[in-house]
Amino acid sequence: MIFTSDNAHIVSPEILKAIAAANEGTVSSYGADQLTQRLGEVLGGLFGREVAAFPVMTGTAANALALATVTPSYGAIFCHAEAHVQSSEFGAPEFFSGAKLVTIEGADGRMTGQGLADMLELFPANDVHYVKPATVTITQSTEMGTLYRPAEISQIKAVADTRSLAFHMDGARFANAMAALDCSAAAITCDAGVDVLSFGATKNGAMAAEVVIFFDPRHAEEFAYRRKRGGHLVSKMRFVSAQLLAYLEDDLWLRNARHANAMATRLAEGLANLSGVTLIYAVEANEIFIRLPRRIIAALEALGAQFYDWPMSGDGPEVGTVRLVTSFATQAREVEQFLKCAAHIG
Amino acid sequence: MIFTSDNAHIVSPEILKAIAAANEGTVSSYGADQLTQRLGEVLGGLFGREVAAFPVMTGTAANALALATVTPSYGAIFCHAEAHVQSSEFGAPEFFSGAKLVTIEGADGRMTGQGLADMLELFPANDVHYVKPATVTITQSTEMGTLYRPAEISQIKAVADTRSLAFHMDGARFANAMAALDCSAAAITCDAGVDVLSFGATKNGAMAAEVVIFFDPRHAEEFAYRRKRGGHLVSKMRFVSAQLLAYLEDDLWLRNARHANAMATRLAEGLANLSGVTLIYAVEANEIFIRLPRRIIAALEALGAQFYDWPMSGDGPEVGTVRLVTSFATQAREVEQFLKCAAHIG
Amino acid sequence: MIFTSDNAHIVSPEILKAIAAANEGTVSSYGADQLTQRLGEVLGGLFGREVAAFPVMTGTAANALALATVTPSYGAIFCHAEAHVQSSEFGAPEFFSGAKLVTIEGADGRMTGQGLADMLELFPANDVHYVKPATVTITQSTEMGTLYRPAEISQIKAVADTRSLAFHMDGARFANAMAALDCSAAAITCDAGVDVLSFGATKNGAMAAEVVIFFDPRHAEEFAYRRKRGGHLVSKMRFVSAQLLAYLEDDLWLRNARHANAMATRLAEGLANLSGVTLIYAVEANEIFIRLPRRIIAALEALGAQFYDWPMSGDGPEVGTVRLVTSFATQAREVEQFLKCAAHIG
Amino acid sequence: MIFTSDNAHIVSPEILKAIAAANEGTVSSYGADQLTQRLGEVLGGLFGREVAAFPVMTGTAANALALATVTPSYGAIFCHAEAHVQSSEFGAPEFFSGAKLVTIEGADGRMTGQGLADMLELFPANDVHYVKPATVTITQSTEMGTLYRPAEISQIKAVADTRSLAFHMDGARFANAMAALDCSAAAITCDAGVDVLSFGATKNGAMAAEVVIFFDPRHAEEFAYRRKRGGHLVSKMRFVSAQLLAYLEDDLWLRNARHANAMATRLAEGLANLSGVTLIYAVEANEIFIRLPRRIIAALEALGAQFYDWPMSGDGPEVGTVRLVTSFATQAREVEQFLKCAAHIG
């Protein structure tokens, strides 16, 4: 009953197999190998256009380097107040970019076009006293386990265009969004105006593999320099690209994500039936936030369930909020056991 | 006949096996797992003292983060003019530390205590116009394939102490040095005054694994923060630690390095016998620098040999310098074939 | 009727005279002159202890360098949501320190000890995912023209101590606070726990002169290096120190501030009598924030009054908020004229 | 007999008068005043084209901000090994730009086009392992008191163009160069290919005033942001602009520099006649480097002469090198007295 985080889980056997298969012969290092070249082609196919794709090994690196590439050091990056780049990356986006994060509130972990527009009004054009609006970043699926639909993204894009903002998507859980949405990968990224995507794989079955995708190749050269300068250019790159290829081939990424999402849906449905348990957000991907009596939290932990406390306003001495995350490796019996325990305690 | 770089080669089968073995069950992420804890213990055993050990995935990350941790942003880092941190890391050490690299010349890729002392004379104490002397870094084995003996390191340390410099060793090829030297790992690091070591594994058989080792635990907390902020904290850390454990266990690291060194020695001996070929540096580890007629270089390449041109003063229209690097995966027959081709052409 | 900002005004004649008097003979540059030494002594007398004092030429430099000196690059700096360092310094504090600003709400431009304590609870000790609590900074007088009393500062200090935070005070308008408070300079700084003070003079009669004062000399050396590296070490320092000495001697700083405060008080009293005009904050120093009908704002501007719009929640199509700032050079007849115009329009 | 540095001297009376004259009435702050606007026009007239001009208060700020504006953070800045940006600015250019300085040797403090070309050969295009060639900077007059002629600058420009480098000139002593050269200000800057000039005034009679001039207005907006973020946007800007206007009007800058140069010429001629004294470089501006017996150095100091030791290779136990700098305020009788002392001792 481990629901702490998707990165507590193993590597998909298919991906491990691909790593082993790549361990043959000498190849050029630093990405000048055939697997890395093929990765670019596969991603080009997925998004229906030529892309510039750069593998890295952590999600923080992907986000921070992507944002630094499209944001000048004197710029503002607009993000949701709960965004991972703001809350969980230890200032890496600021460190790599020099820019300032400006947070925007928004229900259910989502920024809206209107919310962005309202914030931009506080930034007069050509004002030298505050940072210059430069970039907007959203997370898909969000930190709250909710989703942006194409129309919502397009609305943000329309506002971003009024100030020529670059548009970044943190897709650490992009697969979970794609598995839930009924649209193409292009429809919620490049077609909706996203300029650069951090496409995650580690949380959904890879070992350590993310890929930054620029839909506009203009930034590619700069990213390459920044990746190297950040110590994020892996020498034996073939082994990162091999992970990503296996992830994409045969739709492993979608299969893994569909399973994780299904486990979350089942868990949410079961919990919703229990008295005293409140779902905080709609469960649209693989994360569940519930408020429940603290005595139940303690009892579940005593029975071996693992998850994170997620303190929120509305909690009190009697009730607290926790986050449950499911993964491709979460087993149906774990979910049922958890529900049974919760029901029993309740 | 691939002699371009040690990182063009595969992963040691033992290390691949260890990765697969680690792929079992859910564990805490970000390094709070048992393999990472065990790695610290194994390294403590190797160096005969408690150490603070931090796995990362690239050598540039290891060096840049280590240097940033021991150097204030207004400090000077003294390094050899040919050091990897100066010539091949794209300014990463400066980016992470804010400090300034100051280069020192020295024969055979080695800095001497006297060379450091001479340079330090140009930095008056408490002078606010130039950067403050803070750190000295050396590479073991050096970029030129030569070695520092314990006495040489102690001399540098003695000079470093006159200005309270921190002492860092870039051990990207530490195994190649240890395989060649007749002393303990402690004798050429902590016992000789080294404060922090970038202990490399990727060039010698790992997939993507280096470990930064602080002999003084005072810096450990800061390093942890800097690693995270640099995007270098791997979530599924167990797979990095598994590589490093397999590398250290059963002396795989030394066996691999001994083989690479032996291949280099054989290559150097064979080449030394050829007329018109000059060895530039003593071959003490796994790198060979030779000057030879350009027509032989071209002919060797035409026969499929791969290596890098290494332009040096002394080259001319007729003769050029190349670098040959051997690895744990270099095969004796590749070496013999290369020598045969060279002899035949010459 | 110029109420835009205190820095739109002239230099105090006494300060101009001191600059001219300093223009005699050759002296050591970069601060090794007698005026700069004397400045340190005068400040030591003012605060009743030995201090390390560093003149700089802008308030942003003073704040950013002071914060960078006491905050590690992986640290969090806690400030009020409306603080100048957050809203008006274009990311300079982050640029110089590398740290992340974390904003805390608080009524009337003031942070409370409780507000800081609540925020600190969101930062678990030794958590590598968010920045490390390092520094708290408050502004005296605040951006809203209000004041911190010694007891309020001591409460913040008590909370800061629970996490070993450094304590910085932005005193761009320190004189306006001191002129209004009935206590010694030490009582609201070092005696209340402040570690480092940005003591401003430019807004209150100097040409370009601020001084950073460390009550703990431990940080002095580092500040000297950071000031130079930031391009803020003035070569002909005597002319900055001369400004500061003239500012402090004969209580010019307090006389100037008392006048500015008195003008603000008179303005506020007069405005409070008008119907349709709301004072947003208590007027305790030299800044006034009022909400009034937009037609009056426009009419005042048409009559030549100058001030800044200050959009706030609560404004609407009919009413807006403006900020009025008085200075040592504001004349009583300007104030009366403004009040007469406002009354006449209203 | 003070020959330590030009910034040990006073402010030109004309400049002090201009500051006092500017102290009248309220004006817009942060550079939106009429004096600052007029400064732009005067500089436009001087260079015969529209320029974007930004006053700052230190030479280090001028250089570091100018270089940061034209150099990406992953770029290389090529400078002479003795350049002020390399030797005397405490890493400020790197701090503001993120870039790496790469030094080029060259006789008499001058870089040559050929020297730059040779260095650029070590930087292959699109190589991700070393920093990207981005900018070249030269100092006029040089740190060695020598000059670049227009043809030399054009040669550097021709090489810079082969790699699209930006071209910066550090003109901390630009006036001394202009006073010595028989050409227009445009001829040795924009007409010869310089993109951005740090035009110094502080060393030649101003109090604290330099101005960064972009000949291509494309970079102006970014510079404005960087100046603010660096804490270098002065609020009461009129007083900096007033200094610069007085400096330029009636050719004060050239008159001051001609005097300083004449004093240096007289000093050099007198010293050249003494036995045992060697001029190290041609004296073309206001700096003199001489090697002389150490007993004479000591005797001169004992008689009250002040100057800096300037250790160079070629010095020994008996002879040392010193630097003498003259200024607009150096008096002829100081020079004669120095020569008389030297002759008497010798």
Kindly report, residue by residue over A39-77, the tens digit of the pLDDT: 999 999 999 999 999 999 999 999 999 999 999 999 999
For residue A265, is pLDDT > 90?
A: yes
Nearest to D287 by CA among D298, D304, D303, D271: D271
Residue with tokens 């104490």: B125
Please report, for chain B, the start and end positions of each structural domain, with discontinuous segments joined by +.
11-252, 253-345
Distance CA D81, CA D102 (A): 8
Distance from CA of C216 to the nearest CA of B (A): 19
Q: Which of residues 279-318 of D touch C (CB under 8 A)?
A: none
Distance from CA of A6 to the nearest CA of B (A): 9
Centre a 10 Å sphere on the Cβ of residue B265 and count the other Cβ atoms it contains.
18
Residue of C nearest to A133 (CA): C90
D121: contact with C, CB 8 A cutoff? no
> Do D30 and A74 count as a contact with CB atoms less than 8 A apart?
no
- At B313, give phi and psi (nearest 5°): -65, 140
Distance CA B65, CA B95 (A): 10
Nearest to C59 by CA among C7, C129, C132, C128: C7
CB-closest option in A72, A129, A224 to D128? A224
What token pair was written down for D156?
């550097």
Residue of D nearest to B90 (CA): D130
CB-closest option in A74, A226, A233 to D229? A74
Q: Are C54 and C241 in contact (CB under 8 A)?
A: no
SS3 assignment, position D73: coil
Q: How high is the mean pLDDT of chain C?
A: 95
SS3 assignment, position A300: helix
Residue of A nearest to B31 (CA): A8
Which pLDDT value is given to residue C345?
Answer: 84
Chain A residues inside the 8 Å CB shell of D227: 128
CB-closest option in B29, B59, B233 to A8? B29
- Tell me the pairing of strands D75-80 and D132-139: parallel
Distance CA B224, CA B31 (A): 11
Q: Are C238 and C36 in contact (CB under 8 A)?
A: yes
> Do B131 and D91 count as a contact with CB atoms less than 8 A apart?
yes
B130: contact with D, CB 8 A cutoff? yes
What token pair was written down for C243?
């400004």
Q: Would you list the DSSP string of C244-303? A: HHHHHGGGHHHHHHHHHHHHHHHHHHHHHTSTT-EE-S---SSEEEEEEEHHHHHHHHHT
B330: contact with A, CB 8 A cutoff? no
Q: Are B106 and B164 in contact (CB under 8 A)?
A: no
D7: contact with C, CB 8 A cutoff? yes
User: Is the bond preceding C88 in cis, omega lying within 30 degrees of 0?
Assistant: no
Q: Which residue has the higher pLDDT, D265 or D217?
A: D265
D230: contact with C, CB 8 A cutoff? yes
Distance CA A172, CA B295 (A): 52
Q: Are C227 and C56 in contact (CB under 8 A)?
A: yes
Distance from CA of A60 to the nearest CA of B (A): 5
D130: contact with B, CB 8 A cutoff? yes
- Inter-chain Cβ pairs, chain B and chain D, closer than 8 A: 40
> Do B231 and A92 count as a contact with CB atoms less than 8 A apart?
yes
Q: How many CA atoms lie within 13 A of C140 on its CB side?
A: 28
**A190 Ramachandran zone, left/alpha/beta (phi>0; psi -120 to 50):** alpha
Q: What is the pLDDT of residues A119-146, one digit of tens each?
A: 999 898 877 778 899 999 999 999 999 9
Which pLDDT value is given to residue C130?
Answer: 82
Chain D residues inside the 8 Å CB shell of A72: 222, 225
Q: How high is the mean pLDDT of chain D?
A: 95
Chain A residues inside the 8 Å CB shell of B2: 26
Q: What is the pLDDT of residues C288-346, one digit of tens each?
A: 999 999 999 999 999 999 999 998 888 999 999 999 999 999 999 999 999 999 998 87
For chain A, give the percent of residues with pLDDT over 90: 91
B72: contact with D, CB 8 A cutoff? no
Q: Are A161 and A196 in contact (CB under 8 A)?
A: no
Q: Which residue has the higher pLDDT, C90 or D127?
A: C90
> Do D10 and C2 count as a contact with CB atoms less than 8 A apart?
no
Comparing A304-318, C42-56, C117-131, D19-33, the range with the smallest average pLDDT is C117-131
Instruction: Give the confidence band of D129 by pLDDT, cuts at 50, 70, 90.
Output: confident
CB-closest option in C28, C90, C234 to D208? C234
Q: Could you tell me which residues are beta bridge partners of residue D170?
A: D139, D198
CB-closest option in C126, C221, C228 to B129? C228
Distance CA A132, CA A114 (A): 19
For residue A178, is pLDDT > 90?
A: yes
Q: Are D80 and D58 in contact (CB under 8 A)?
A: no
For chain D, give the percent of residues with pLDDT over 70: 100
Centre a 10 Å sphere on the Cβ of residue B161 and count the other Cβ atoms it contains.
11
Q: Which fold has domain B253-345?
A: Aspartate Aminotransferase, domain 1 (3.90.1150)
For residue D128, is pLDDT > 80?
A: no
Q: What is the pLDDT of residues C158-205, one digit of tens each?
A: 999 999 999 999 999 999 999 999 899 999 999 999 999 999 999 999
- Give me the mean pLDDT over the D134-143 stretch: 98
Distance CA A62, CA A199 (A): 8
Residue of D nearest to B100 (CA): D91
Q: Are D145 and D285 in contact (CB under 8 A)?
A: yes
Q: Which of residues 15-44 of B touch C (CB under 8 A)?
A: 30
State the complex-level ipTM.
0.96
DSSP 8-state assignment for residue D290:
E
- Tell me the pairing of strands B166-171 and B196-200: parallel
Q: D203 Cβ partners below 8 Å, 6+ apart?
A: C235, D5, D6, D7, D59, D172, D173, D327
Distance from CA of B62 to the nearest CA of A (A): 8
Instruction: Give the confidence band of D217 by pLDDT, cuts at 50, 70, 90.
Output: confident
Q: Which of A9, A57, A338 to mutate to test the interface with B (most CBs of B within 10 A)?
A: A57
For residue A317, is pLDDT > 80?
A: yes
Residue of C nearest to D94 (CA): C229
For residue C145, is pLDDT > 90?
A: yes
Which pLDDT value is given to residue D313?
Answer: 85
Q: Which CATH class is domain C11-252?
A: alpha beta
Q: Are B54 and B224 in contact (CB under 8 A)?
A: yes
Which pLDDT value is given to residue B311?
Answer: 87
Q: D31 Cβ partners below 8 Å, 6+ apart?
A: D54, D55, D233, D234, D237, D241
Which pLDDT value is given to residue A223?
Answer: 97
Which pLDDT value is given to residue A69?
Answer: 97
Distance CA C207, CA D242 (A): 12
A156: contact with C, CB 8 A cutoff? no
- Inter-chain Cβ pairs, chain A and chain B, closer than 8 A: 145
CB-closest option in D73, D88, D130 to B87? D130
Q: What is the pLDDT of residues D237-295, one digit of tens each?
A: 999 999 999 999 999 999 999 999 999 999 999 999 888 899 999 999 999 999 999 99
Chain B residues inside the 8 Å CB shell of C73: 73, 98, 226, 229
> Do D236 and C26 count as a contact with CB atoms less than 8 A apart?
no
- At D2, give phi and psi (nearest 5°): -100, 110
Distance CA A152, CA A155 (A): 5
> Do A226 and D74 count as a contact with CB atoms less than 8 A apart?
yes
- The gap from C-alpha D196 to its chain's centroid, in whole angstroms, comes to 13
Q: What sign results for the dihedral spanned by CA atoms D31, D37, D38, D40?
A: positive
Distance CA B155, CA B159 (A): 7
Q: Are B311 and B320 in contact (CB under 8 A)?
A: yes
Residue of A nearest to B64 (CA): A231
Which pLDDT value is given to residue B297?
Answer: 94
DSSP 8-state assignment for residue B149:
-
> Do C95 and A73 count as a contact with CB atoms less than 8 A apart?
yes
Nearest to A201 by CA among A222, A182, A183, A176: A176
Q: Are B171 and B210 in contact (CB under 8 A)?
A: no
B99: contact with D, CB 8 A cutoff? yes
Q: Could you tell me which residues are beta bridge partners of residue A288?
A: A324
Instruction: Give the confidence band of C116 by pLDDT, cuts at 50, 70, 90.
Output: very high
Residue of C nearest to B131 (CA): C225
The segments of chain B whose pLDDT lies below 70 read none
For residue C128, is pLDDT > 90?
A: no
A231: contact with B, CB 8 A cutoff? yes
Chain C neighbours, 3+ Cβ pairs < 8 A: A, B, D
Q: D333 Cβ partners below 8 Å, 6+ apart?
A: none
Chain B neighbours, 3+ Cβ pairs < 8 A: A, C, D
Which pLDDT value is given to residue D126?
Answer: 77
Residue type, D236: K
Which pLDDT value is given to residue C239?
Answer: 98
Residue with tokens 């008497």: D344
Q: Are C93 and C150 in contact (CB under 8 A)?
A: no
Which pLDDT value is given to residue A124?
Answer: 85
> Do B229 and A5 count as a contact with CB atoms less than 8 A apart?
no
Which pLDDT value is given to residue A136?
Answer: 98
